[in-house]
Amino acid sequence: MKQDRQELKKTLDNTVNALVKTIGLRDPYTSGHQKRVSKLAVAIARELELSEKEVKLIKIAALIHDIGKATIPMEILNKPTKLARVEINLIKAHPQTGYDILKDISFPWAVEEVVLQHHERIDGSGYPRGLKEDEILIGAKIIAV
């Protein structure tokens, strides 16, 4: 039983690492950004004395929080000039796209929900749903920092 759990944990870690590598192949900046966010988010979660379960959720969600950007053309992601409204809307759709990519994976935590909420703001000005304060998961709040 314990060996099965360890195998599942290893499989989960390897799956997340494969997603991170896939993102890195397409967009090295986003991959590096996600790794930096993950390190900072884990440090914040530990400082807040969250449970190890919550820390693990935050680490995984932070590592893949921008996976939805995989569907955005590179010329938009790297555009040096002001984005058009349609381009901004494409970028603002990436949390929902990330959720859609992840929702069928049986994570032991609400990773897909944290990915969906990582651009929400406590004053309700965020996206995609305009959530406020306690409507936003702690993991999403931490990743947003």
Q: What is the residue-level pLDDT of the chain in tens, covering all 145 positions?
A: 777 788 888 888 888 889 888 888 888 888 789 899 999 999 999 999 999 999 999 999 999 999 999 999 999 999 999 999 999 999 999 999 999 999 999 888 899 999 999 999 999 999 999 999 999 999 999 999 8
Q: Which pLDDT score is estimated for 22?
A: 86
* Domain residue limits, the chain: 2-144
Round to whole Å and give the CA distance between 141 and 145: 7
The predicted pLDDT at position 120 comes to 98
Q: 70, 9, 60, 69: which is closest to 35 by C-alpha?
A: 60
Domain 2-144 matching CATH 3.40.50.1110: the answer reads: no
